[in-house]
Amino acid sequence: MGNIKKIINGKEYSEKFLKQVYTLSTNFYKRFNRKPCLAVILVGDNTASGIYVKNKVHTAEKNGIKSVKVILSNKVSEASLLNEILKLNEDQNVDGILVQLPLPVHISEKNIIHSINPMKDVDGFHPINFGKLFMGNPNFIPCTPLGCYYMLKNELKELSGKNAVIIGRSNIVGKPMASLLLASNCSVTITHSKTKNLREHCKKADILISAVGIPEMVDETYVKNNAIILDVGINRLQFVNSETKANETKLVGDVNFGKVVNIAKKITPVPGGVGPMTIACLMHNTVKAAYKNKKQSFNDILGEIF
């Protein structure tokens, strides 16, 4: 494709980024004679969650980070899960704690997220970390928006004054993304399922970030010429293979890549865009948590955001 510079290659970004993470984790090992440690809790047998956890553990191990997996049954009580988190909170050798979401319906995600020690909350979902981000004094920043921010900063250098439109207002993507862009002096619009005239909002975007979960919803009618598009959505689409006639599935984003690629200035693909940087940022947050656990200053790869 003649669009090499147009494609924001998240895989390439993550590989470079993780090299720096590896240096930090090996330096940590040299100083403290142990690796930074990430505890990952998986509840139940959701296939997608299982794959996410496997990828996280694998990436941690490849990058000088120890991982501890806690696997609990679908039927585990909220009290038992809280007790597991308490043990990890108190364990000096555990630096980061991640509870893979979603949780079974009988467990309150809110109670679980609130129970994680904010200094080990490498997902950045605890209200203290969420509030700190919004107040311009971030501690741990949620990994997906952090990865998006990192790629945007590297692609654009200057974000100041840009119109940024985010589709989706979740606590894990839309809202923290808005906060990061606001801190970078963008004019930010957050749109959602009840937004009227969504296309008109999106058409004004210099930077368009979609985190909805509807396959290929964003087509050329949403996009301004030369916009920068980050597609956070991960959707599994069923299709019939025209040769074999078999039913198959593929991953697509919220953005109809084929329809917007010639209008956009730059765009992330799915897969290979936002996903790899999300996991790289989790590793970054874990190493940062380890240095903080040891009360050591941390030379942040991301530089000063605020």
Candidate residues 43, 112, 186, 212; the one interacting with ligand NAD per rule CB under 6 A: 212
Candidate residues 29, 235, 265, 292; the one interacting with ligand NAD per rule CB under 6 A: 235
Which of 107, 173 has the CB closer to ligand NAD?
A: 173
Integer Cα distance of 179 and 156 in angstroms = 18
Which of 7, 172 has the CB closer to ligand NAD?
A: 172
Picking from 231, 130, 110, 232, the residue whose alpha carbon sits closest to that of residue 179 is 130
Q: Does 285 bind ligand NAD (CB under 6 A)?
A: no
Q: Does 173 bind ligand NAD (CB under 6 A)?
A: yes
Closest distance of CB 102 from ligand NAD, Å: 9
Which of 81, 190 has the CB closer to ligand NAD?
A: 190
Which of 26, 171 has the CB closer to ligand NAD?
A: 171
Closest distance of CB 293 from ligand NAD, Å: 25
Q: Does 174 bind ligand NAD (CB under 6 A)?
A: yes
Residue span binding ligand NAD (CB under 6 A) among the ranges 58-66, 83-91, 131-139, 206-214? 206-214
* Integer angstrom CA distances of residue 301 from 23, 118, 141, 154, 305: 11, 21, 14, 12, 11
Q: Which residues touch 182 (CB under 8 Å, ≥6 apart)?
A: 188
Closest distance of CB 215 from ligand NAD, Å: 9
Active site residues: 56, 100, 123
Residues 139-168 binding ligand NAD (CB under 6 A) are: 144, 167-168
Q: Does 8 bind ligand NAD (CB under 6 A)?
A: no
Determine the residue with CB nearest ligand NAD. 170
Candidate residues 192, 199, 236, 250; the one interacting with ligand NAD per rule CB under 6 A: 192
Closest distance of CB 96 from ligand NAD, Å: 17
Q: Which residues bind ligand NAD (CB under 6 A)?
A: 144, 167-170, 172-174, 191-193, 195, 198, 211-214, 232-235, 274-275, 278
